[in-house]
Amino acid sequence: MQITVLTLFPEMFAPVQESILKRAQEAGLLQIRLVNFRDYAISKHKNVDDVPYGGGAGMLLKPEPIFAAIRDLPQPPGKRKIILMSPQGHVFRQEKAKCWSDLEELVFICGHYEGFDERIRELADEEVSLGDYVLTGGELAAMVMIDAVARLIPGVLGEDASAEEDSHTDSLLEYPQYTRPADFEGRLVPEVLLSGHHAMIKRWRRKESLRRTFLRRPDLIKAVTFETDDYPLLEELVLEHVEIAPWKTLWEHLCPPPKRRRRF
C-alpha cells in the first residue's frame, strides 16, 4: 500500500520510521511518501498562505501549491482516496481504517495555520477528523490514521488475528487479557484461562467483551451484530448487574428470540 502525505513539516513524521511501521516498509508491505507542498509554491518567497478575503484572524493555505502537488502525483495502479485532515470532517473510526486498508493508495492533505482556501476541499474524496477538537495542524492526526490503517494490512502484524480481535473491530471492546505470573501479589488470573478448555475460554472472552462494552461504552451497542450464543451471555450479565438500571433497557432493546426472553 502507498501512503502519501502532503505536509509543510515532513520532519514531524519520524515516528513512521519506527517499530511496526518501519518493519512494514522494509518488508515492502507499505510505502510512505512525504511531499512538502511548499516546493510547489509559485511566489518568490515560496509563500503557501495568505490573508483571507473579507478579513479575519489568521492565514489560509493557498490553493495553488496543493493543487500542483496533487496533480504531480503518479497515478496509482488501483483505487486512490484523497483525505483532507479537517476538524469539520467525519470522526475517524475503526471501520474507516478497515475500509481504507483495502485501497492501493491513501493521500493525506495536512493543513496548518487558520485553515484552507475553500477550493482545496474540491480535491478531497473525504474530510476526516481525529475527534471533536482542533489541532495546530493535520500531521499528528494523519500519523494516527496511518498507524490504524497500516496494522490492518495483511502481514503487517505478523498474525492477522491480532487485528481481528482488537477493540472496535466488531464494535465491541476487547476482553481482558493476562500473562505470567498466574498469581501476582494475590491478583489471580481467571481460572478459565488456565483450564486449556478452548470452548470455555472463547465463551468467557465473548462475555467479558460484552460486559466491558456495556459498562464502558454503551453507545457502541447499537452497532453490534449479536450472535445467537450471545443471548444467554447477555441474560447472565443483566442478572449480574441488576444494580445498573440501563442494563434492563438495553436488554429490552436487543429483542432476543422469545425462548431466550425473560421478564424482569
The answer as to whether 190 is a domain residue is yes
- 157/35 same-domain check: yes
d(CA 49, CA 112): 9
Res 168: pLDDT:
55
The CATH number that applies at residue 41 is 3.40.1280.10
Q: Is pLDDT above 50 for 258?
A: no
The answer as to whether 245 is a domain residue is yes
- 107/187 same-domain check: no
Q: Is pLDDT above 90 for 57?
A: no
- 59/187 same-domain check: no
Cis peptide before 181 (omega within 30 of 0): yes
Active site residues: 87, 114, 151, 166
Which residues are 127's β-sheet partners? 84
- pLDDT per residue as tens digits for the range 248-257: 556 555 555 4
d(CA 84, CA 102): 19
Angle CA 65–147–165, to nearest 5: 150
d(CA 117, CA 228): 51
- 39/156 same-domain check: yes
DSSP string, 55-122: --SS-EE-HHHHHHHHHTSPPPSS-EEEEEEEEEEEEP-HHHHHHHTTSSEEEEE---TTEE-GGGGG
d(CA 140, CA 12): 8
- pLDDT per residue as tens digits for the range 25-46: 999 999 999 999 999 999 889 9
Torsions phi, psi of 115, nearest 5? 160, -160
d(CA 93, CA 129): 10
The CATH number that applies at residue 188 is 1.10.1270.20
**Claim: this prediction has a pTM higher than 0.75:** yes
Q: What is the three-class DSSP state of 136?
A: coil
- 43/149 same-domain check: yes
Could you list the residue range(s) of the whole structural domain that residue 215 is in?
Answer: 183-260
Run of H or E including 21:
helix 19-26
Res 163: pLDDT:
58
The answer as to whether 169 is a domain residue is no
Q: Which three cell numbers stand for residue 22?
A: 518501519
- pLDDT per residue as tens digits for the range 172-204: 999 999 999 999 999 999 999 999 999 999 999
